[in-house]
Chains A and B, each alone.
Chain A
């Protein structure tokens, strides 16, 4: 009898333990909902990669933390946000990006904005999915000078990351893919569509000033054939005769395709938040918007593959001083203050 009581107690204990365990597991089961994104009206279609990696609550939280993580660099001094600073619409105000040990990169840092709607990334479009992009700065000698295995080994020992990877992906394992996917998810959420221009368009009771309106009309006539649509880019690659980067590494789109006609062609940049992202051009050739417009007005460099829109106009876009200042007033209406302010 005594024996059976013993067994009974034992099995009870086991049962309770088992129950406790189940309870604990339930507690651990995480609710990681998809984040609804509000897609601004008139924006181009989403990049197809988005549908395979939709932002989730914790995926984005993890991505944001990784974006600001200096341990992604070899000597723990540079994060993505060192070059992509929110207060400057995720650029750095440098002519050419400055990375680890103050090494100078080849190109100017572009803003990280509305990238969910972009088909080709970087100045030359050599990446088609945001998920395949983060490895480039991590391994690049002039940027973060690290390796993905080195990064994983640094993150693995951090309790915060173990928790966040589990919340975002169901278990604490850190893989290259999860790092890339979460960073991309965060970038997908960086949507800028709350500028004065947007408010005017949405009829929110705000109006352009006279100069802004004139600038807008001039822009439609002189610029919108390339800087078209709600992102102010048709996402094509063009050579518009900007001064040429002296580095022999540079060939624009030609570096990727190996096609002669693509030599020194660059993706038409979005002009949203342009007032925050000086200097301008693929290697920061121009300090101000005035300099860009003066250059167009005086005449651009000739090239065999110079865009027909320029060759048909004697290699220039002529503008009077008044027209230039009107266009610049308009460009300032593309500034989205909420976008550059931390949430």
Chain B
């Protein structure tokens, strides 16, 4: 009898020891925190008459303010100091993509879990959804479909059966004309397959950001503070844009920008042109180790 008690005791002890030994899983969490700003100030949303809303002035001298601000982040990768890239559920929109909605504080932080313990020097992600995954597949990715598509989010492009990558609503100039800028890809299929190829705009942009200091994963949970500076929307590295209202091909302040080459100008400002500029409006302010 005594023996049995001993055995039981021993096993209980070892179980306890093993579980103690297992380190805190949050040590392998990396939180991406998004701060959406005009230059250095966090944006305050508001309607046309709001006295609180942040008002920004573009390089071309146009005042503008936002009432809605959303964008999709996906294809997230962390690069180790030795150069090895660690992909984070890059082919699973349910587990590896998110909609940043400035009006919902909870969406501004996105937690990457189970990141292998190592030192990291770079963060990479996509603004938007890469072409291979940019079809509305509710069966495959029900969670992302529902976050992106549900009534108040409206982050899908019904006619193109793909996702919207950025959705900005607001007002510009002193008479507060409506501004509505949606970006998203319109192309479909592959150029090699002429029978199914729909020529169009690829609005997905790959972002590469070097961390100001190495992020040490495995000891305690870490945070990377990403700044998204929407001042760049009109006054970007690639283009200086003047907004215009109307229904002509050059009138870019309304959703018809997604129809014209005008859309690409906004996309390049927000997400970089994919060539000389790989960061667009994004930068990293600091990290918390």
Identify the A interface with B (CB < 8 A).
47-49, 119, 122, 125-129, 132, 135-136, 139-141, 147-149, 175-176, 244, 246, 248-251, 254-260, 263
Query: Is A258 within 8 A of B138, CB to CB?
Result: no
Q: Which of B196, B197, B251, B263 has the most CB of A within 10 A?
A: B196
Q: Which of A147, A148, A244, A258 has the most CB of B within 10 A?
A: A258
Query: Is B159 within 8 A of A260, CB to CB?
Result: no
Give the Cβ gap from A273 to chain B, nearest Cβ, in Å: 25
Q: List 12 A-B contacts (CB under 8 A).
A: A119-B195, A128-B188, A128-B196, A139-B136, A175-B139, A176-B137, A248-B255, A255-B186, A256-B160, A256-B199, A259-B261, A263-B260
Q: Given A136-B161, A147-B138, A248-B256, are A257 and B247 also a contact pair (CB < 8 Å)?
A: no
Contacts of A136 in B (CB 8 A): 158-159, 161
Contacts of A248 in B (CB 8 A): 180, 247, 251, 254-256
Query: Is A126 within 8 A of B195, CB to CB?
Result: no
* CA A324 to CA B199, docked complex, whole Å: 37
Q: Given A126-B186, A149-B138, are A251 and B259 also a contact pair (CB < 8 Å)?
A: yes
Contacts of B90 in A (CB 8 A): none
Query: Is B156 within 8 A of A139, CB to CB?
Result: yes
Q: CB-defined interface of B183-209 with A at 8 Å, one 1/0 digit per residue?
A: 000101100000111111100000000
In B48-99, the 8 Å CB interface with A consists of: none
Q: CB-defined interface of B129-152 with A at 8 Å, one 1/0 digit per residue?
A: 000000011110010010001000
Contacts of B274 in A (CB 8 A): none
* CA A97 to CA B207, docked complex, whole Å: 41
Give the Cβ gap from B103 to chain A, nearest Cβ, in Å: 21
Query: Is B249 within 8 A of A126, CB to CB?
Result: no
Contacts of B159 in A (CB 8 A): 122, 126, 136, 140, 255
Chain A residue nearest to B259 (CB atoms) is: A251
Query: Is B186 within 8 A of A258, CB to CB?
Result: yes
* CA A136 to CA B135, docked complex, whole Å: 11
* CA A127 to CA B263, docked complex, whole Å: 21
Chain B residue nearest to A252 (CB atoms) is: B259
* CA A128 to CA B255, docked complex, whole Å: 24
* CA A259 to CA B255, docked complex, whole Å: 15
Contacts of B259 in A (CB 8 A): 250-251, 254-256, 258, 263
Contacts of A257 in B (CB 8 A): 186, 199-201
Query: Is B256 within 8 A of A135, CB to CB?
Result: no
* CA A119 to CA B189, docked complex, whole Å: 14
Task: Report the 9 A-B pairs with minimum CB-CB distance, sorted nearest first.
Answer: A251-B259, A255-B259, A248-B254, A258-B201, A48-B195, A263-B249, A140-B158, A248-B256, A128-B196
* CA A149 to CA B141, docked complex, whole Å: 11
Contacts of A251 in B (CB 8 A): 249, 256, 259-260
Query: Is B138 within 8 A of A47, CB to CB?
Result: no
Q: Given A248-B255, A251-B259, are A129 and B158 also a contact pair (CB < 8 Å)?
A: no
Q: CB-defined interface of B142-178 with A at 8 Å, one 1/0 digit per residue?
A: 1001000100000010111100000000000000000
Q: B223 at interface (Cβ–Cβ under 8 A)?
A: no
Query: Is A149 within 8 A of B195, CB to CB?
Result: no
B139, B160, B254: the one contacting A126 at CB < 8 Å is B160
Q: CB-defined interface of B220-244 with A at 8 Å, one 1/0 digit per residue?
A: 0000000000000000000000000
Contacts of B200 in A (CB 8 A): 256-258
Q: Which of B158, B159, B199 has the most CB of A within 10 A?
A: B159
Give the Cβ gap from A40 to chain B, nearest Cβ, in Å: 21
Contacts of A119 in B (CB 8 A): 195
Contacts of B198 in A (CB 8 A): 125-128, 256
Contacts of B102 in A (CB 8 A): none
* CA A149 to CA B138, docked complex, whole Å: 7
In B231-289, the 8 Å CB interface with A consists of: 247, 249, 251, 254-256, 258-261, 263-264
Contacts of A260 in B (CB 8 A): 249, 260-261
Contacts of B156 in A (CB 8 A): 139
Give the Cβ gap from B261 to chain A, nearest Cβ, in Å: 5
Contacts of B149 in A (CB 8 A): 139, 147
Query: Is B256 within 8 A of A128, CB to CB?
Result: no
Q: Which of B139, B145, B200, B249 has the most CB of A within 10 A?
A: B249
A49, A132, A175: the one contacting B195 at CB < 8 Å is A49
Chain A residue nearest to B151 (CB atoms) is: A141
* CA A122 to CA B197, docked complex, whole Å: 15
Contacts of A127 in B (CB 8 A): 188, 198
Q: Which of B136, B197, B259 has the most CB of A within 10 A?
A: B259
* CA A109 to CA B19, docked complex, whole Å: 65
Contacts of B247 in A (CB 8 A): 244, 246, 248, 250
Contacts of A125 in B (CB 8 A): 198
Please give 18 more A-B residue pairs, beta carbons under 8 A apart, in addition to A176-B138, A254-B249.
A47-B195, A126-B186, A128-B195, A136-B158, A139-B136, A139-B158, A148-B138, A248-B180, A248-B251, A248-B254, A250-B247, A251-B249, A255-B256, A255-B259, A256-B186, A256-B200, A256-B259, A260-B260
Give the Cβ gap from A65 to chain B, nearest Cβ, in Å: 21
Q: CB-defined interface of B96-120 with A at 8 Å, one 1/0 digit per residue?
A: 0000000000000000000000000
Chain A residue nearest to B140 (CB atoms) is: A176
* CA A254 to CA B264, docked complex, whole Å: 13
Q: Given A135-B161, A256-B198, A257-B186, are A149 and B139 also a contact pair (CB < 8 Å)?
A: yes
